Amino acid sequence: MSPLPPSLSLDSHIHSLPLASDLPSQFSSLALTPRPHHHESHPYPSVVIDASRHSDLSDSDRMPSTSSSLPTTPPPPPLALKPSPDIVSQEPTDDHTVPSPPKQTDSRHRPQRSIGPSALEKVISKTRPAHLPPKARTEDRKHAADWENMMRQSRLAEQKRQHALHERRLAREAEIEASSEIWSKQILPNWSLTLQNPTLRKLWWKGIPPKLRGPLWENAIGNALALSKDSFRVCLARARRSISSGAFPTHTLQLLEGDIVATLPTLKLFHPVVGPLYSDLKDLLLAWTVARSDEGLGYVVGASKVAAMLLLNVTSNERAFVAMRNLLERGCSRAFYGGSSTKDDVEAYYRIFDTLLADGMPKVYFNFKQHQIPPSNYLPGWLLPLFIDHLPFEACARVWDVLILEGDSFLFRAALAIMGVIESRLFFPDRDELLSVLRGEHKAALEVAKRSGLTGNGKYEIYGLNEETLWERIDAMDDWWKESTWIRLTQRELPDL
């Protein structure tokens, strides 16, 4: 190697470094950029060579690789060097930090997310738990094929069942249409004959024609409170004066308006902005609240649903007000809407339902007891709005048909029938899971319903509950339901009723 140029003075000998003037002609234009060097941070100086202007050199002109000619002897010990303006350090200093160039990522080599089963999933058996010895390949394939066949048969059976229910519904609707003359000429003039005539009673259970539902409901509910036709107008005027003077409780008004917003939201009929029946519903609830205030009772969430169902079937607000006041004064509804004064009656109805549940569905009853789920966790949500929140609208209207005719016994029979429809979901070994099912908020069922495109017509629609499945269960209860049992239980738990 050539000796070091004079600009590099060392205290002792050091390996020499050729300068630009000593290099071959093809490297004569290489630039050495001076930069201060701090030998404290790195003992060996280095040179930054700018060879960008000579990128057009041919392969033959380029210097050969020196990887094979590297010295095998260890480097000499560090020497104290004097800084030279011709030598530049590549080490960053505290004052001037050299940023590292950004890492370039080739988009052609980005990791792609796997589509389909992974290699591990392809070999893991789906018909044998992982902790057991693996099956033979032929046996595993046979069992997987059997499972696929069972699932296919199950889907076909469900499709046939749904088709049969649809055909049954069409037949029932045709029967109701054909019996319209009986309804208008025999039942409507004297509805009480239905209670004595088994044929007419059976016809009523199949559903009232929608166009006759309003007047028949009014007749069956009656007017035991002897309310006048002007009672609605008087109570509404009192409510408006109270609101104008600021005497109407703000909290009560907020409860009332919030209840309206949650009333049959999919129908959009009672929407505060675009709902055509919003004002009618609010007026009805204000009048009902003022009428109850005379008894020291306040607003109860759930009343908006009852009022909405009546408004959709009864011809006027005045008639709907009379029907609502009398309907909610019946035994069970009066207890649940009666506040603290009827707390003991509510507890008695809980015990009655618990007894009926233990008789009709003992496994569900035992699971509820094991996970501490009393009727107070779910029954008020059903009975206060009379099932409107949880059932599809048509199914709920048909339940109301029979409820208004038969009274509280059918209220509990319908509640047990709902339990029967969703029974397969009531065996979860987890309390929170069970409560989510009863509230109609089970995540897995909601996801399936979303994929199926269900409209949200009742919270329990996601469980496959509709008019036909509900009444299929109600009819099946004829084998064990007895009115005498209901009478005996009410006399035992509510002797003063």
User: Closest by alpha carbon to 375, among 416, 425, 327?
Assistant: 416
The answer on 305 and 421 residing in a single domain is: no
- Flag the least confident range among 49-63, 159-173, 201-215, 242-256: 49-63
Looking at residue 429, its pLDDT comes to 92
Spatial distance between the Cα atoms of 351 and 339, rounded to a whole number of angstroms: 18
Residue 201 has pLDDT above 50, yes or no: yes
The answer on 394 and 319 residing in a single domain is: no
Place of tokens 């509709």: 466
Q: What is the pLDDT of residues 101-139, one digit of tens each?
A: 445 545 455 555 556 667 656 666 667 777 778 778 888
Looking at residue 234, its pLDDT comes to 97
Residue 253 lies in a domain: yes
Q: Chain-wide mean pLDDT for the chain?
A: 81
Residue 167 lies in a domain: no
User: Closest by alpha carbon to 88, among 35, 42, 139, 131?
Assistant: 35
Region at 80 (left for phi over 0; alpha for psi -120 to 50; beta for the rest): beta
Residue 466 lies in a domain: yes
Domain residues for 287?
209-329
Q: What is the torsion angle, in degrees rounded to the nearest 10, for the CA atoms of residue 344, residue 349, residue 350 and residue 353?
A: 170
At 424, the pLDDT band (50, 70, 90 cuts) reads: very high
Residue 357 has pLDDT above 90, yes or no: yes
Mean pLDDT of 177-182: 86
The answer on 369 and 250 residing in a single domain is: no
Helix H or strand E segment including 32: strand 31-32
Domain closes at, from 329, 364, 393: 329
Residue 255 lies in a domain: yes
Spatial distance between the Cα atoms of 267 and 265, rounded to a whole number of angstroms: 5
Helix H or strand E segment including 253: helix 250-261
The answer on 346 and 325 residing in a single domain is: no
Half-sphere exposure of 362 toward its Cβ, with a 13 Å CA cutoff?
A: 1
The answer on 458 and 385 residing in a single domain is: yes
- The number of distinct structural domains making up the chain is 2
Spatial distance between the Cα atoms of 320 and 311, rounded to a whole number of angstroms: 6
Residue 251 lies in a domain: yes
The answer on 325 and 415 residing in a single domain is: no
Total residues belonging to the chain: 497
Residue 248 lies in a domain: yes
Q: What is the pLDDT of residues 13-32, one digit of tens each?
A: 444 444 444 445 444 444 44
Place of tokens 């609240």: 289
Spatial distance between the Cα atoms of 105 and 194, rounded to a whole number of angstroms: 82
The number of angstroms, rounded, from the C-alpha of 120 to the middle of its chain's C-alpha atoms is 32
Domain closes at, from 329, 351, 380: 329
Q: What DSSP string describes 366-377? A: HHHHHTT--GGG
Other Cβ atoms closer than 10 A to 181: 8
Contact 324, 288 (CB under 8 A): yes
Spatial distance between the Cα atoms of 489 and 416, rounded to a whole number of angstroms: 16
The answer on 462 and 432 residing in a single domain is: yes
* The two three-digit tokens of residue 19, written as one number: 């300068």
Phi, psi of 386, deg, nearest 5: 55, 50
CATH number of the domain residue 238 falls in: 1.10.8.270
Mean pLDDT of 417-421: 96
User: Closest by alpha carbon to 236, among 278, 288, 198, 293?
Assistant: 288
Looking at residue 13, its pLDDT comes to 44
The answer on 320 and 348 residing in a single domain is: no
For 53, residues 6+ apart whose C-beta sits below 8 A from its C-beta are 29
The answer on 382 and 252 residing in a single domain is: no
Residue 159 lies in a domain: no
Place of tokens 């239980």: 489
The answer on 465 and 379 residing in a single domain is: yes
Q: Is the dihedral of CA 19, 22, 27, 28 positive or negative?
A: positive
Residue 62 has pLDDT above 90, yes or no: no
- Helices marked H in 74-226 — which ranges? 119-123, 137-178, 180-182, 193-196, 198-205, 210-221
- Flag the least confident range among 6-10, 86-90, 283-287: 86-90
The answer on 290 and 213 residing in a single domain is: yes
Residue 357 lies in a domain: yes
Domain closes at, from 329, 362, 379: 329
The answer on 356 and 296 residing in a single domain is: no
Q: What is the pLDDT of residues 267-325, one digit of tens each?
A: 999 999 999 999 999 999 999 999 999 899 999 999 999 999 999 999 899 999 999 99
Helix H or strand E segment including 50: strand 49-50
CATH number of the domain residue 399 falls in: 1.10.472.80
Place of tokens 């055509």: 276
Spatial distance between the Cα atoms of 316 and 275, rounded to a whole number of angstroms: 17
